[in-house]
Amino acid sequence: MTGLPRKIIHCDCDCFYASIEMRDDPSLVGRPLAVGGRPETRGVVATCNYEARRYGVHSAMSSARALRLCPELLILPPSMDKYRAASAQIMEIYRDYTGLVEPLSLDEAYLDVSGTGRHNGSATLIAREIRSRVAQAVGITVSAGVAPNKFVAKIASDWNKPDGLFVVRPEQVDAFVAALPVGKLHGVGKVTGARLARLGVQTCGDLRGWTQAALRDEFGAFGDRLHDLCRGIDHREVSPNRERKSISVEQTFVTDLTSLEQCEASLEGFLQQLEARIRRSDAQDTINKLFVKLRFADFSRTTAEGMGTAPDAEQYRILLATAFRRNTRPVRLMGIGVRLGEAGQQLGLFDG
């Protein structure tokens, strides 16, 4: 394979949670639908179907705002067991074509099919067959992008959504990427995008006018990444054994918590949930840090971290007090979790 372009497929299920709900209840098809939390409990939209998106509803939006935009919107609570079962079916289909499958979430994955002999090595035909098999076996649609690297494949999978397939051949990468808005680059959010706009940069073609040294001076180490991505360069490999870095639980409260004592009262329930998730992930031997995350009424956030190899109530109380004292406003969201690393790895108290 040395010197030959890789063949990467990025598969992304279309509005996954909502698609599973519509599959199981056909009466939901054609009406605006979202999966997420209740508006009265400050819930957020996890995903929504395309009928809801026409009203401006999107994932991570508060359920209350979603209902204001679309009063007819039906919001269903998540059924995670059902979604995990569908995801397992889908990943099994992917692995029938290659061992190099890197799941990014329940509904999204990279596949490296460079070395497969299926369909005479045609990544396009493999992607087409995968999409057909998922539709038949699971009952939902998958959009796919085919390209020589992960960056371009991921953008391509979004090109013909929903239920689409888009191929960017090696000789097409340069022109395809040059025309992309810089907001499509991984790591370019609203702040960096606005900064680039002020510098007169709108497209990847514009960004190519900057030397690597100039980008590094302006954006630090991220400048090197910008230099490569705007040229369609991405050497990342598909990693089937991508390590999980943390496990956590969190909750947005119906009523803001105004005292440290109120926050501490939630710790016991949080700990039980966290310990259960750690056991399910079989991660007990890889914990090297504990952390507490708070979001305040003004939407500012803070995280306090400390050394630990297992969830510990007293340690979480110390971290909670540290985080709570950083802002005088009430707490709207609280979370606790663990960082994962190599078994037995130790870090100093409040490192990082």
What's the CATH fold of domain 246-340? Answer: Dna Ligase; domain 1 (3.30.1490)
Q: With residue 347 as reference, give the H or E element that holds it.
A: none
pLDDT of amino acid 1: 43
Domain boundaries, the chain: 8-15+81-170, 16-78, 175-229, 246-340
Name the CATH superfamily, with its identifier, for domain 8-15+81-170: Reverse transcriptase/Diguanylate cyclase domain (3.30.70.270)
pLDDT at residue 228, rounded to an integer = 95
Q: pLDDT per residue over 99-142, tens digit each?
A: 999 998 889 999 999 988 889 999 999 999 999 999 999 999 99
Q: What is the distance between the alpha carbons of residues 267 and 275, in angstroms, rounded to a whole number?
A: 12
Distance CA 14, CA 238 (A): 22
pLDDT digits (tens, 9 = 90+) for 60-71: 888 999 999 999
Q: Write down the CATH number for the domain with range 175-229.
A: 1.10.150.20
- The amino acid present at 128, given as its one-letter code, is R
Say what the pLDDT of residue 253 is.
85
Same topology, domains 8-15+81-170 and 16-78? Answer is no
Question: Whole-model pTM?
Answer: 0.75
Nearest to 157 by CA among 205, 123, 114: 123
What are the residues facing 293 on neighbouring strands? 303, 335
How far is residue 345's CA from residue 75's CA, in Å, rounded to a whole number? Answer: 43
- Active-site positions read 108
Please state which architecture CATH assigns to domain 16-78: 3-Layer(aba) Sandwich (3.40)
The answer to whether 12 is annotated as binding is yes
> What residue ranges in the chain does DSSP mark as E strands?
8-13, 33-36, 45-48, 74-76, 101-105, 108-112, 142-147, 165-167, 246-257, 287-296, 301-307, 331-340
pLDDT given for residue 5 in this prediction: 83
Query: Rounded to an integer, what distance in angstroms lies between the CA atom of residue 351 and that of residue 305?
Result: 7
* DSSP H stretches of helix in 57-122: 63-69, 80-95
- Per-residue buried b or exposed e for 87-99, using 16+ beta carbons within 10 Å of the residue's own CB: beebeebbeebbe
The pLDDT value given to residue 242:
67
pLDDT score at 3: 62
DSSP 8-state assignment for residue 159 = T
Q: 234 and 150 in contact (C-beta within 8 Å)?
A: yes
Which portions of the chain are predicted below pLDDT 70?
A: 1-3, 242-243, 342-352
